[in-house]
A and B are shown apart, each in its own frame.
Chain A
Amino acid sequence: MSELVVEQVTKSFGDEQVLADVSFSVKHGEFVSLLGPSGSGKSTLFHLIGGMYRPDAGTFYLDGNDITGERGAISYTPQSPALFPWRTILENVVLGAEIQGKPDYKKARAMLEKAGLAGYEDAYPHQLSGGMRQRVAFVRALLSPQDFICLDEPFSALDEFTRLEMQKWLLNIWEENRQSILFVTHNIEEALYLSDRVIVLSNKPAAIKKEFTLPFERPRDQELLLSEEFLQWKKAIYKELQVVNHA
């Protein structure tokens, strides 16, 4: 069980307001994307959830407990894979668990194999490609003891081909575990393809502009990307973002 509730969160840095009265929730086993232009305060929201600093107002609840300003309550993967270069892949994926207690190497090996990383357990991050490193970072997030996963534009540094492949891979892995995921992105297609719900944020200060609940069935196929229905949704969200940018 893991359910995140964000309640009326406001944050300013100096005179600049970054988040204005943001409220939403992510239910158990739900995949929710936050969609907004770059620099719209999406990462700030993650840092607040992760307890890097406190919001000026508002509260975060995880499974009903107040986790505002508390570190280590969620499992987090930053934009860059942030792997430790002196640790092997196996040692890297257990890090989250290691910080919170005892790492389970057996489980880690099994998960690496499922993630298509078998045979790389003893390799070092610099020996892997960008896409593989991102997979390792995601496996690390899955193996962390926290049930709630926050992904901050994890595929933004990858090329188009690798990105498509990674999205498919992410969905496959996620179908098996169905952990709650909050996903930040500025890519409309990515948000549509992956999520159950898409929350569109406005620009500076970020506030919730609109919420879309997507009807697409799971497990999803990449064919979906070309369907008429998908394009309709893309249009709707695109229009919403246009309004955001011109406001």
Chain B
Amino acid sequence: MNKIATKTVSPILVIVALLLIWEASSRLLDVPAWLLPAPTVIVQEGVAGWVNYQHHLLSTIRLSLIGFAIGVTVGLVVAISLHLLPTVKQAFYPLLILSQNIPIIVLAPLLVIWFGFGVMPKLIVITLVCFFPIAVSTLDGFRQTSYELMHYMQMAGASKRQIFTKLELPHALPSFFSGLKIAATYSVMGAVISEWLGANQGIGVYMTLAQSSFRTDRVFVAIFFIMVLCMIFFGIIIALEKLLIKGRVKEEKV
């Protein structure tokens, strides 16, 4: 109990301390608000401007959720098919890694040229950033299937299908969840980046508007909500993980 308390209290203390220093320095040193607004100013804007930006928030949430769902599906399909078809894996694995070496910032305008300003290029951007951590970590999970358990299954006369559904798939579940956690935070980031390219609503749009009119307080409000969104996504996945992954508490601690 005590351990849990210190675990949650100490990071909160650090954050509070940082905010206090920030607040004090911006007041004492008289930093102009367009350069660095004090936390209290940001909170005031966050509360007062809710009506102005809540539709942006909703639009980003929707976009990242849909993108995340597509990304997860693509990631899983890629992982499973590459695992079941080793020759295809050999041929496509380098391509998988190359796809992540293209900076999204460069790729995004191209996608706009090809697909216009609609939802399509945005979803492609989010899918591209989301599928990779899931595909790679799930593939790793398949690859690290316990040799002993595999041996038992083969000696017991299990078919390839049984080995996959009863052993490999449940064995890769924790790895899949590690990928899911990364992808969840990427999906929000991907959504915001894709909105910068050209959209009529979304946090990305709100942010660019705020930036060009030197409403730095609003930029910070946007940053705050991006962080909150990431944390909520992350929290939901951790809760799901606890619910679905059984009998491995001890293993993870070691």
Q: Which chain B residue lies CB-closest to A141?
A: B156
Contacts A80-B148, A84-B149, A99-B162 hold; do A50 and B251 have CB atoms under 8 A apart?
Answer: no
Does A95 count as interface, using CB distance less than 8 angstroms?
Answer: yes
A243 at the interface (CB under 8 A from B): no
**Cβ contact within 8 Å between B156 and A126:** no
The contact size tier of chain A is 20 to 34
Q: Which residues of A contact B154 (CB under 8 A)?
A: 50, 52, 71
With A85-B248, A126-B250 as known contacts, state yes or no: A96 contacts B156, CB within 8 Å.
yes
Task: Say yes or no: A86-B247 contact (C-beta < 8 A), given A76-B152, A78-B151, A78-B152.
Answer: yes
B3 within 8 A of A: no
Q: How far is the CA of A124 from the CA of B246 in the complex (A)?
A: 8
* Interface status of A185 (Cβ within 8 A of chain B): no
Sort chain B's interface into a size bin.
20 to 34
Q: How far is the CA of A98 from the CA of B246 in the complex (A)?
A: 20
A51 to B154, CA, bound (A): 9
| Bound Cα distance A71, B155 (Å) | 6
Mask, B160-176, CB within 8 Å of A = 1, is 00100011001101000
Q: Report whether A50 and B155 are in contact in the complex, using a CB–CB cutoff of 8 Å.
A: yes
User: Using an 8 Å CB-CB cutoff, how does the interface string of A81-115 with B read, 1 for contact, 0 for none?
Assistant: 01011111000000110111000000000000000
**CB < 8 Å: which of B151, B155, B245, B250 contacts A86?**
B245
On chain B, the residues within 8 Å of A85 by CB distance are 247-248, 251
Task: Given the known inter-chain contacts A78-B148, A82-B152, A86-B170, please indicate yes or no for A99 contacting B157, CB distance below 8 A.
Answer: yes
Q: Is B31 at the interface (CB under 8 A from chain A)?
A: no
- Report A-chain residues with C-beta under 8 Å of the C-beta of B158: 72, 99
Is B249 an interface residue when CB atoms closer than 8 A count as contact? yes
Instruction: Determine the chain A residues whose CB is within 8 A of the CB of B173 once the complex forms.
Output: 86
Is the CB of A6 closer than 8 A to any CB of chain B? no
Distance of A74 Cα from B152 Cα, bound (Å): 11
Chain B residues with CB under 8 A of A99? 153, 156-158, 162, 166
In the complex, what distance in Å separates the CA atom of A84 from the CA atom of B166?
9
CB neighbours of B170 from chain A (8 A): 84, 86
**Which residues of B are found within 8 Å of A80, using beta-carbon distances?**
148
**How far does the alpha carbon of A114 sit from the alpha carbon of B86 in the complex, in Å?**
45
Which residues from chain A contact B246 at a C-beta distance below 8 Å?
Answer: 86, 124
Q: Which of chain B's residues have a CB closer than 8 A to the CB of A95?
A: 156, 166
Min C-beta distance of B119 to chain A, whole Å: 38
- CB nearest neighbor in B for A97: B156
Complex Cα distance A87/B173, Å? 13
**B residues less than 8 Å from A88 (CB atoms):** 247
For residue A78, which residues in chain B have a CB less than 8 angstroms away from its CB? 148, 151-152, 155
Q: Is A73 an interface residue (CB 8 A)?
A: yes
The chain A residue sitting closest to B157, CB to CB, is A72
Listed in ascending order, the chain A residues whose CB lies under 8 Å from chain B are 47, 50-52, 71-76, 78, 80, 82, 84-88, 95-96, 98-100, 124-127, 144
5 A-B pairs with least C-beta separation: A72-B157, A124-B247, A126-B250, A50-B155, A76-B155
Could you name 24 residue pairs across A and B whose Cβ atoms are closer than 8 Å?
Answer: A50-B155, A51-B155, A52-B151, A52-B155, A71-B154, A71-B157, A72-B155, A72-B157, A74-B155, A80-B148, A82-B146, A82-B148, A82-B149, A85-B247, A85-B248, A96-B156, A98-B166, A99-B156, A99-B166, A124-B246, A124-B247, A125-B247, A126-B247, A126-B251
Given contacts A78-B151, A84-B167, 10 further A-B contacts (CB under 8 A): A52-B154, A74-B155, A76-B152, A78-B152, A78-B155, A80-B148, A84-B166, A85-B248, A85-B251, A86-B248
